[in-house]
Chains A and B, each alone.
Chain A
């Protein structure tokens, strides 16, 4: 893999967007230049939605048997994500199987994960299980199609597990404790489901 996308290089990259040694509740956190840099980038990406919408359209056209759910551009994550529900997912109740693609706004990198939710409307319970590669066999054909579409649409690199789960010292994100997060949280989201 390109040295640009090594764990070390990406750790250095995320340090430009998250202040060292501060919790999000610390007043200095939001005043930091790193946080301001992240907010500015986030705002800029949200204003330009065309590439993402074209990508979603391609997903719908090329995987028509699946239900595509766009998670809206929210202020929480430095990324965008789409959930592609497999054809055998009876919605809204029962078991939902989905392949999820997440693209980072900090670097031309993306990830895919498999998600298996069980929803019980009567009990209002939802449980989910997540896989990173290798996916269970029933997810793999959709994983390949979606990965190809992401690469083609954004020219991004899919990061391997060992890079994704590299710890990042001295930083804090979301509800994780200081130093508890890994690269996947800082590059993509702290809410994998």
Chain B
């Protein structure tokens, strides 16, 4: 199974590593990961160089002085990684959203015929959709069972499978984005909010559409992401 398709990675997840994370180099010197740029006491060099020397060493490409040994190969790379890491930390409020559910995930099955006088018919698609948010403070991992029901004909207007699939896909993407950018961590409520969001979006294009938990028996549901 793929890891996730809908996911949100708030940066605060990586903002709070344990306070005892240290970077330790081969010469025995060490640097605490947090506050490393402005707290000399966190930096423990083997031969007690000056603060100035430490800062030079931290940032500079091999600008070492005094008694400090040459850094090991790759220290530069570490510094660059740490610099990028720090920039990310300072931009801590940023969040990313990813994921797209394809229209083909919504496979519609006719369950009520439109034959007969005034019969509108009915078709449904059932999909298990994973909503996942990687976050320390507000984690979410919820499989939501979603049934989309649409009339085959609404007011003499035929709703094609392609239209229903495309609209369902668009609504799912937008509803997932809203739920995952929110704070809900309880799966039952998150799924409820997701279905409600999908329904509100779909009803703007398909009158009478229903978005519910699985209700119709004997339908083989699809999963997103696929098992």
Contacts and interface: CB of A to CB of B under 8 A. Distances in A.
Nearest to B215: A75
Nearest to A26: B188
A93 B212 CA distance: 27
Contacts of A96: 155
B157 interface: yes
Contacts of A127: 204
A189 to B, nearest CB: 9
Interface residues of A, number: 36
B203 A193 contact: yes
A126 B205 contact: yes
A85 B204 CA distance: 20
A154 interface: no
B112 A74 contact: yes
B204 A74 contact: no
Contacts, number: 96
A191 B156 CA distance: 20
A160 interface: no
B167 interface: yes
Nearest to B195: A175
A92 B192 contact: no
A91 B195 CA distance: 30
B112 A67 contact: no
A193 B205 CA distance: 13
A138 interface: no
A70 B188 contact: no
B185 interface: no
Nearest to A127: B204
B157 A92 contact: yes
A24 B155 contact: no
A126 B192 contact: no
B149 A76 contact: yes
Interface stretch (A2-10, A104-112, A117-125, A143-151): A117-125
Given A74-B122, A124-B167, A175-B195, A25 B204 contact: no
Interface string B207-227: 110111101100000000000
A40 B109 CA distance: 24
16 contacts: A25-B144, A25-B192, A56-B118, A68-B118, A72-B122, A74-B215, A75-B215, A91-B155, A92-B154, A92-B157, A119-B207, A126-B206, A128-B203, A174-B212, A175-B212, A177-B192
Given A60-B117, A121-B157, A127-B204, 19 more contacts: A23-B192, A25-B191, A25-B192, A69-B119, A69-B155, A72-B122, A74-B149, A75-B216, A76-B210, A76-B215, A85-B155, A91-B155, A92-B157, A119-B157, A124-B163, A126-B154, A126-B203, A175-B196, A176-B196
